Amino acid sequence: MPNLHSGLTTRQHIAPPGEDLICFSHLRWNFVYQRPQHLLSRCARDRRVLFFEEPVRDDIRDPRIQVTRDASGVIIAVPHVPAAFGHDEEIFAVRALLDAFIASERMQPRILWYYTPMALAFSDHLQAWRIVYDCMDELSAFAGAPAGLRRAEQALLARAHVVFTGGVSLFEAKRHLHPNMHACPSSVDVAHFARARQAAAEPPDQAALGRPRLGFYGVLDERFDVELVRQAAARRPDWQFVMIGPTVKIDPAVLPRAANIHYLGTRAYDALPGYLAGWDVALLPFARNDATRFISPTKTPEYLAAGCPVVSTSIRDVVRPYGELGLARIADDPDAFVAAAEAALGEDPAARRRAADALLAGMSWDETWRSMWAQVRAAGKDTLPCSITSLSGRASQAPSSPNGWQPAQAKRY
């Protein structure tokens, strides 16, 4: 039977049923705090929210699900499946774990919220009042994109009542694919990042570094322009380059190494203003490739809220609006990037901060969530949604399980 391992006590039991929302995500809740966490933590103020992650393959005998509760109230469920399982056995097991948890908690999932189309393989049997696809990125362009992702997205677009995109350029590329699509660029918690403007003790791992400091935080992956950072650091050995974030999908050995490049690792969202307070320039050193073609970096308004000048490569959703408004300097080759950083170091920040504050005054995650939720409530379709399996010409049924393993009613905890 499915093994439901929970970090919740009976007293902490999930809120009463109602307008329950289940989110299916390829991103781990505890990985990097970004768009899903901002939106769903706000959603959880008014309803039960289950954040159901992609499965983890483990050296275990039977499938199980690990359940914890975030301080925001969001319930995080992580399915674990035996590493020996094949694809069909994994889908069968994850579907069974999902169904067992829904039954155990007497959930009434009125809203299904997708960040990954691949989750349809184990959730397309669920019916809901609203099906939402929050398309953060063009996932098919990322390194290691799973086979069948484009077909899965076609199925999700056919099924969804409303679609959001994480940026304007992605919206412009996909708007013809769905009649109810909306551009909802990521927003910013201004008060949180404005703490960087107040003089405070610096984090110990940064305090000893010299000045000027040029910093970046985010995931170091195929979108990170390794050669640009390498050459910029070589051209200005007296500048200190601070990199914060995990390294994924690339070999850490390919990252540029020099005495003035400092990799501090992952830092908590709450700690970021402390690091930004000690940066003289904030960087967006993204490579120009398929993976970055449609990205809309959340950190752009965060850098501005912290009071930092911004230097970025020519990412479309940074150029427009931030570059066009003079709030970010845009440069792609090492010489131009260094020149842009030098100009940023020499500027009077007062005028830039006034302009940035005027723009950011109209931005907040609270307002973004209210706007998106209004679109969810207004959306609707009269036809029964199709499924990924029906589009592929296969019968929509669970595959047979290995070793006779079958789901059973999950125990309550």
Task: Name the residue type at position 216.
Answer: F
State pLDDT tens for residues 152-184. 999 999 999 999 999 999 999 999 999 999 999
What is the DSSP secondary structure assignment for residue 12, as one 8-state letter? Answer: G
Q: Provide the whole-model pTM.
A: 0.88
Helix (H, G, I), strand (E, B) or coil at 214: strand
pLDDT given for residue 172 in this prediction: 97
Residues 311 and 229 in one domain: yes
Residues 234 and 343 in one domain: yes
State pLDDT tens for residues 264-275. 999 999 999 999
Residues 168 and 44 in one domain: yes
Residues 302 and 264 in one domain: yes
pLDDT given for residue 54 in this prediction: 96
Burial class (CB in 10 A: 0-12, 13-18, 19+), 238: exposed
State pLDDT tens for residues 335-353. 999 999 999 999 999 999 9
State pLDDT tens for residues 89-142. 999 999 999 999 999 999 999 999 999 999 999 999 999 999 999 999 998 888
The H-assigned helical ranges of 347-411 are 349-360, 365-378, 388-391
Please compute the mean of the pLDDT values over residues 300-306 and round it to a whole number: 98
Question: Which band of pLDDT confidence, cut at 50, 70 and 90, is reported for residue 380?
Answer: low
Residue 412 domain flag? no
The H-assigned helical ranges of 218-291 are 226-235, 272-276
Residues 179 and 214 in one domain: no
Query: Given the DSSP bridges, would you call strands 130-135 and 329-330 parallel, antiparallel or unpaired?
Result: unpaired
Helix (H, G, I), strand (E, B) or coil at 97: helix
pLDDT given for residue 412 in this prediction: 31
State pLDDT tens for residues 194-214. 999 996 789 999 999 999 999
Domain that holds residue 181: 3-187+366-404
Residues 168 and 312 in one domain: no
Domain count along the chain = 2
Nearest alpha carbon to residue 122 among 143, 160, 96, 148: 96
Residues 62 and 101 in one domain: yes
Q: What is the CATH number of the domain that holds 26?
A: 3.40.50.2000
Tokens 């390919």 correspond to 254
Query: Given the DSSP bridges, would you call strands 75-82 and 64-69 parallel, antiparallel or unpaired?
Result: antiparallel
Cβ–Cβ under 8 Å, residues 51 and 74 = yes
Q: What are phi and psi of 263, to 5 degrees?
A: -100, 110
Any idea what the Cα angle at residue 300 is, between residues 276 and 72, rounded to 5°? 75
CB crowding 161-184: b at 16 or more within 10 Å, else e: bbbbbbbbbbbeebeeebeebebb
Residues 345 and 395 in one domain: no
Residues 282 and 394 in one domain: no
Q: What's the chain's average pLDDT?
A: 89
Residues 38 and 119 in one domain: yes
Longest Cα separation, the chain: 70
Q: How far apart are CA 149 and CA 162, in angstroms?
A: 19
